[in-house]
Amino acid sequence: MIEPIYWLNGRLVSAAEAVIPLNDHGLLYGDGVFEGIRFYNRRPFRLADHLERLELSARALMLALPHRTALEAAVTETIAAFAGADGYLRLVITRGAGSLGLDPGHCERPSLFVIADKVTLVSESRRRSGLDLITASTRRPGPTVLDPRIKSLNYLNNILAKLEARRAGADEALLLNERGQVAEGTAENLFIARRGRLCTPPVSDGALDGITRGIVLELCRQEGIEAVERSLTPYDVHTADECFLCGTGAELLPVRTVDGRPMGHCPGPLTERVRRAYQAIIELETTTRSEQ
Ligand code: PMP
């Protein structure tokens, strides 16, 4: 069994020592930011992109972050201590311990921690056969409420949507924004294919500016696949030729049905092309050969 590794405020700690105070505002109010980062072959994938997004989220919340090199060192040390070559990192900054009021001004200093572990979001058979999705009644707040680009510790909308999916016997939920347009999955961005073209909602419709989403768009440019960001309604998804979810944890997951409507193909040819290209870029960037 591969044990999780914990790094807290400057050093590796045992599971028993991996604790933060009960009055940390990260716990009391979800006041903090985080990243989920995969590593393959002991190398973090797209670390610079994740740290940049973390820094932007922290700036938006006026949360002081350690310098980039300190964050990189924490990641490197945690991966080095992990027994497996591949895994998942959770990098979290909380507002820190404070008094029982919202005001972050009363918090002492932010807490930084990293957890390395294995992650399996869906079974291998589901990954192959494709997921069943429902549209959740819980909405994703748009930028006028809480900018979805802030990757904060507050995930309650997404958790409520996940609960809806589980109760409906589905694998995953789609969240719409307040205008009824498709935003994203609970922890993944969404793409559909129609007539040979991929479409994904713009982040202004309530999607996280996903790093995997960005890579998919980049790969499409390289592969000559037409891909656009445009608003989607449930109708667009229900009648798509293909649909897939993407994210760091999820990687690329084909979708089989949405609200009981079967997709045209699952996994469809464009999904397969993008998935292969995604695997190839991971290999290219995380094999030791590319270090030379
Ligand atoms: N949307 C949400 C709400 C997420 O939590 C995630 C996972 N970080 C994603 C999309 C996918 O983003 P990324 O590709 O950067 O992991």
pLDDT at residue 181, rounded to an integer: 98
pLDDT at residue 289, rounded to an integer: 57
pLDDT at residue 284, rounded to an integer: 96
> Is residue 111 packed enough to be buried (19+ CB in 10 Å), middle (13-18) or exposed (0-12)?
buried
pLDDT at residue 292, rounded to an integer: 41
CB 267 within 8 A of CB 143: no
Specify the CATH architecture of the domain 124-283: Alpha-Beta Barrel (3.20)
Mean pLDDT throughout 261-286? 97
Distance between CA atoms of residues 45 and 212, nearest Å: 10
What does the pLDDT look like over 151-200, one tens digit per residue? Answer: 999 999 999 999 999 999 999 999 999 999 999 999 999 999 999 999 99
Q: Give me the CATH topology for the region 5-117.
A: D-amino Acid Aminotransferase; Chain A, domain 1 (3.30.470)
CATH 3.30.470.10 residue ranges for the chain:
5-117
Pocket test for ligand 1, best of 248, 274, 282 (most atoms within 8 A of CB): 248
**Sole residue written with tokens 């980049």:** 218
Distance between CA atoms of residues 213 and 204, nearest Å: 14
- Could you say which of 151, 162, 265, 275 is catalytic? 151
Is residue 247 in contact with ligand 1, taking CB distance under 6 Å? Answer: yes
Could you tell me where the DSSP H helices lie in 198-268?
211-223, 234-238
Mean pLDDT throughout 251-277? 97
What sign for the dihedral angle of Cα 95, 100, 101, 102? positive
Instruction: Ligand 1, residue 151: give the atom nearest the CA.
Output: 5
What sign for the dihedral angle of Cα 80, 84, 85, 88? negative
Mean pLDDT throughout 133-155? 94
What sign for the dihedral angle of Cα 250, 77, 285, 60? positive
Question: Which residues 6+ apart lie within 8 Å of 52 measured at CB?
Answer: none
Active site residue 162: no
Q: Which of 163, 161, 167, 156 is nearest to 135 (CA)?
A: 161
Q: Which of 147, 155, 84, 144 is nearest to 116 (CA)?
A: 84
Instruction: Ligand 1, residue 50: give the atom nearest the CA.
Output: 15
Q: Is 243 left (phi over 0), alpha (psi -120 to 50) or beta?
A: beta
CB 181 within 8 A of CB 202: no
What does the pLDDT look like over 23-35, one tens digit per residue? Answer: 999 999 999 999 9
CATH 3.20.10.10 residue ranges for the chain:
124-283
Residue 187 C-alpha to ligand 1 middle, in angstroms?
A: 5
Exposure on the CB side of residue 61, measured as CA atoms within 13 A = 31
Is residue 208 in contact with ligand 1, taking CB distance under 6 Å? Answer: yes
Instruction: Ligand 1, residue 53: give the atom nearest the CA.
Output: 15
